[in-house]
Structure 1
């Protein structure tokens, strides 16, 4: 499903077709997220009890993330890690990650509270994943275009390799999605998401419990005149 990123035929991110897609997708987001919250209420309650028993309170992890146009919102997920505790050596993500947390992340159950973000309008069911606030200063102008749409619970990068992708490929897929988004594409991404969850692939990058920090893309070095 991975697109050819170098395609020269790129629709405008704010075209009439794209805006219509966004309006319809918002209605779908409200209906589906609301329905999933109701249907999964017993699961959400069970996970909350398990997190409280294993990790204590708070049960939810809250963090500011950039949303549409880079505006910050509070992302809500279930906690999967211990708090930072330098005295007991709980500093890195690998040290703080718990067995319960790994299981929740493998099944994406830690993401269930994020449906509330979708219902509120902070996020969409499909879109580029919301990353960290300090990444905003590290993006190239092209990469920053990923914020022209609402961030998503799942997205093109998630079904194309998830955390196994390099940052450059991941961000390129995000901007490709911004320019080519449609209801049909969103439906295909949702279908592929179900397969990814069942296969449980790409949960963590090699040598990391999630994904290494983004430190910015290396500058593109052009060829010198007369060079090979």
Structure 2
């Protein structure tokens, strides 16, 4: 049922948003150049990697050594606008149609985070990742990594069709209000770092 809902809902959204998608793609090409889309490997169900799509929001500016500049220096005003209203996430509807993402589920983070999770945190990969999730409607980037992971695992244990509908409705309201987009003091969000405790388990560096 969830897969059928994801496919139908994402297809209708893509059809409805197609003029906006074309306009954003054109503006990204004008303001940031090619490529229009940002593509990155992310862990999906059970940690299996897939290619995630987003609209570009940053330049490729580098320092004299060829290293990318910090996010705060590469994020453009146009990119901030796209992120403010989550329009950079729209291409992920193609990931939903392909079955790599769900509309609702724990957000797919970075591949390099996988070995940093505790066993409990790793449970977030027991379900398909989503465009939005329980952590996103309960603080998003304004809460700590540890709090996010607890919310993700809570979703894994309590997921239901009606919970998904609730999360989607709250997401729409939050997007319209552009709340909790950035972590305080960060252009986007602080990089997740794990460390080793006395039992040899990875834990959030907080």
TM-score relative to the length of structure 2: 0.92
Alignment of 1:68-87 (within 5 A): 68-87=45-64
Q: How far apart are 1:220 and its partner, in Å?
A: 8.4
Output the aligned Cα RMSD: 1.6
Match of 1:206 in 2: 184
The C-alpha deviation readout for 1:108-149, integer Å capped at 9, x for no partner, is 110110000000000000000000000000000000000011
Match of 1:59 among 36, 53, 56: 36
Match of 2:85 in 1: 107
* Kept in 2: contact 1:167–1:214 (CA 8 A): yes
Alignment of 1:146-185 (within 5 A): 146-185=124-163
Match of 2:202 in 1: none
Structure 2 residue runs of 5 or longer lacking an equivalent are 200-206
3-state secondary structure, aligned to 2:194: coil
Structure 1 residue runs of 5 or longer lacking an equivalent are 1-23, 222-228
> Which piece of structure 1 moves more, 85-94 or 178-187?
85-94
Give me the whole-angstrom Cα distance separating, in 2, the residues matched to 1:86 and 1:167: 29
Give me the whole-angstrom Cα distance separating, in 1, the residues matched to 2:87 and 2:121: 29
3-state secondary structure, aligned to 2:137: coil
Q: Spell out structure 1 runs of 4+ moving beyond 2 A.
A: 87-90, 217-221
TM-score relative to the length of structure 1: 0.84
The C-alpha deviation readout for 1:38-74, integer Å capped at 9, x for no partner, is 1100000000000000000000000000000000000
Give me the whole-angstrom Cα distance separating, in 2, the residues matched to 1:129 and 1:80: 19
Match of 2:9 in 1: 32
Q: How far apart are 1:195 and its partner, in Å?
A: 1.2
Is the radius of gyration larger for structure 1 or structure 2?
1
Match of 1:121 in 2: 99
Give the total of aligned pairs: 198
Give me the whole-angstrom Cα distance separating, in 1, the residues matched to 2:48 and 2:61: 27
The C-alpha deviation readout for 1:65-97, integer Å capped at 9, x for no partner, is 000000000000000000141139961000100
Give me the whole-angstrom Cα distance separating, in 1, the residues matched to 2:198 and 2:161: 34
